[in-house]
Amino acid sequence: MTTRGLIYNYFYTASVITLILPLTAFAAALPTTCSELLAFIANDVGKTLSAFIGAITVIMILVAAFQFLTAGGDAEKIKTARGNIAWTIVGLAVAMIAFNIPGILSSFLGGSLPTTCQ
């Protein structure tokens, strides 16, 4: 097997393990009742999604910074890098608002959202 093939296999295996390990941690404490399911979704899944969104935001900012550094004065490349930064910030703002929707709804409804099932 070539060196390139070995590197590809190593990164493929590492990425699969990285994606599966958090799932095994969740499987250890899966909810059994409807109330536990709602709490699980609100707490654990929300925290995991916010971690992924934060990681993607950092990666996109780094990509845009690399585009700035390699633009070499080209106006079109600089415009693309600025657009990437702007859309990254917009995406982060939308994600932050989305995670706060339950709190916003509960403040409008004058209490807390239902956490029990029928």
80-108 per-position pLDDT tens digit: 999 999 999 998 888 888 777 777 777 77
pTM for the model: 0.59
- Helix or strand or coil: residue 112? coil
User: Which residues are CB-contacts of 65 (< 8 A; sequence separation ≥ 6)?
Assistant: 81
Residue 1 DSSP symbol? -
Phi-psi region of 114 (alpha: psi -120 to 50; beta: other; left: phi over 0): beta
List the chain domain ranges: 1-30, 33-118
Residue with tokens 């900012």: 61
User: Two tokens at 8?
Assistant: 């590809």
Reported confidence tier of residue 118, pLDDT bands at 50, 70, 90: low
